Amino acid sequence: MYKPLTIEQYKVYQFLKERFELSHFLLSPISRSALMLEDHTGERMAFHYQDGTVSKSEIPEPAKPEEIKAFLTWFRSLKPRPQAKTFKEVTRWWLNHPNPLNHQQALWLKDELYRYYLSHTQLKEKAVLSLVSKGLITEDEYKGILLWYLDGHNFSFWLGSLGLDGTGNIYGLITHYLTPQARQYSFYLLDDYYRQMNHIL
């Protein structure tokens, strides 16, 4: 779930909060001074703060592929490369440096996962370990775990597929990865394959 990171964004957020039931919308950043609302039908509106006033604005056109390619080529050439590991760190860099990427592209998230990020509160490590300890998690719960992992935890943890058996798809989470303190949790994913193999309608 996105939270404003600049004064201008906060001004827009307060304006929207007074006029919309924000729990029914996806809220995402466009720039340091603009936010976008999207409802369940896919309708979107953008608002920006300028000269002490919040007003409706145009939704920016997506960057052309060649612009994104040129930016990525430039970014990869930076020495040293910016050390932004968490979603918040990446977002701050994205907001503070001119670039053609939208927020989703900056976080490197697919559509389904980005929408989950915008609509759910991020899990904490304790909640993640509690979920994987159950041995069976839903696809929705796995999205939350995956987002937590990608949010700066993929350096000291490992998350991925361990294969499948006659019961279902098996996934694993390893804490303190590649250290003597490493501990592995294994769990099944409650997906269509699991339902079929376990005769769950």
CA angle 151, 157, 161 (to 5 degrees): 95
**Does residue 85 form part of some domain?**
yes
Do 155 and 129 reside in the same domain of the chain?
yes
Instruction: Return d(Cα 95, Cα 120) in angstroms, integer.
Output: 22
For the stretch 84-102, pLDDT in tens is: 999 999 999 999 999 999 9
Q: Name the nearest CA neighbour of 30 among 48, 16, 42.
A: 48
Together in a domain, 133 and 75 = no
Q: Is residue 111 part of a domain?
A: yes
C-alpha 95/C-alpha 32 separation (Å) is 6
pLDDT for residue 52: 95
Residue 30's domain spans which residues?
7-57
Q: Is residue 1 part of a domain?
A: no
In a shared domain, residues 190 and 129: yes
| Cα separation, 158 vs 162, whole angstroms | 11
pLDDT-above-70 percentage for the chain: 100
Has residue 110 been placed in a domain?
yes
Has residue 75 been placed in a domain? yes
pTM (predicted TM-score): 0.92
Q: Tell whether 2 is covered by a domain.
A: no
What does the pLDDT look like over 145-168, one tens digit per residue?
999 999 999 999 999 999 999 999
- E strands, 43-168, are 44-50, 53-57, 136-138, 158-164
Q: Choose one of 119, 146, 165: the last residue of a domain.
A: 119
CA atoms within 13 A on the CB side of 51: 1
Do 99 and 43 lie in one domain? The reply is no
Q: How confident is the model at residue 1 (pLDDT cuts 50, 70, 90)?
A: confident
How many structural domains does the chain have?
A: 3
